[in-house]
Amino acid sequence: MLLYMIYEAFRNKVVEKDLHLQGFPSAFNGLRLYFISDIHWRKVSLSMVEQLKGKVDLMVIGGDLAEKRVPYERIEHNLRLLASVAPVFFVWGNNDYELDVQKLDACIRGAGIRQLVNETVCFKKNGDNLLFVGVDDHTQDRDRLDQALKGTGEGYRILLTHNPDIIQNIKTKHQIGLILSGHTHGGQIRIFGWGLREKGGIKQVGESVLVISNGYGTTTLPLRLGAPAETHLFTLYSKTSA
């Protein structure tokens, strides 16, 4: 059992899935979005990254890139490896704040990765707008969604957040179509299907599609059961094109 729990903790599983989303702009149909969260102590697999090359248009690191005492050399290695695949967005998680914030910020910037800290980036194509809205860590009440959305204009909105609990603050006026989150580790260790947090997955919550990833790494103990390590490769489409 212990060996199996270690195996689940160190899997390099890429969950590939097409998402057909209501209101997603047709000009961006086929956008390939890679999502990885909760790396913590893990060293990103070179073989996994090599398999992603040529298959990804944009990457998102969903917080908890590291935690206290993780060597900066490992952080830099992981960032360089991910940035070699495609442009990367990063949002902060609660464990990231255990490190020297200025030093971690320098590592992220040095890898050419764009941080979204309560701000929005808009992509335009053939008259359609696709907005990536990144908020700071919700766990520590650093998220400012209204600030991130201020003056952004119309478009399909993808919210990048570490903590899925932000869903409780999402209102119709925010017009969030898709939410990418991690943080929970899927409960990390689930006994007979039960865990401290719900298992990762995709569900409709109000008008938003909420993605909760089990995450790539672990905290405290490098063990998992019933919530294997995972990353995601989503191909996005308008629901009308399904």
Over the stretch 116-125, which tens digit does the pLDDT of each residue have?
999 999 999 9
pLDDT in tens, 50-89: 999 999 999 999 999 999 999 999 999 999 999 999 999 9
Going by DSSP bridges, is the β-strand pair 119-125/128-134 parallel, antiparallel, or unpaired? antiparallel
pLDDT in tens, 114-159: 999 999 999 999 999 999 999 999 999 999 999 999 999 899 999 9
Task: Give the CATH number for residue 57.
Answer: 3.60.21.10
Backbone angles phi, psi at 36, to 5 degrees: -135, 135
Q: Please give the pLDDT value at position 220.
A: 84
Q: Please give the pLDDT value at position 41.
A: 97
The residue range of the domain holding 136 is 2-241
Q: How many domains does the chain have?
A: 1
pLDDT in tens, 8-35: 999 999 999 999 999 999 999 999 999 9
Instruction: Indicate whether 241 pLDDT > 60.
Output: no
Of the listed ranges 29-33, 92-96, 188-192, 238-242, the one predicted with least confidence = 238-242
Q: Please give the pLDDT value at position 242.
A: 46
Q: Could you tell me the pTM of the whole model? A: 0.96
First-to-last CA distance in the chain?
42
